[in-house]
Amino acid sequence: MKVLSDLLNDFTGWLTIGIIVFMLIMMVYLFSMFISKATKGE
């Protein structure tokens, strides 16, 4: 857990977490768009 705390203390760690969260949100957004398109198509 020491590595994790070191990451959180460092700005780069927060930046990495922010990028991961941003990518997850984008994936969910694109996935929801794809689902809505599929349902409207039928």
**pLDDT over 80 at 36, yes or no:** yes
3-36: buried (b, 16+ CB within 10 Å) or exposed (e) per residue? eeeeeeeeeeeeeeeeeeeeeeeeeeeeeeeeee
C-alpha span between 26 and 20 (Å, rounded): 10
Residue-level pLDDT at 29: 96
Which amino acid is residue 18, in one-letter code?
G
pLDDT tens-digit series, residues 2-35: 777 776 677 787 888 899 999 999 999 999 999 9
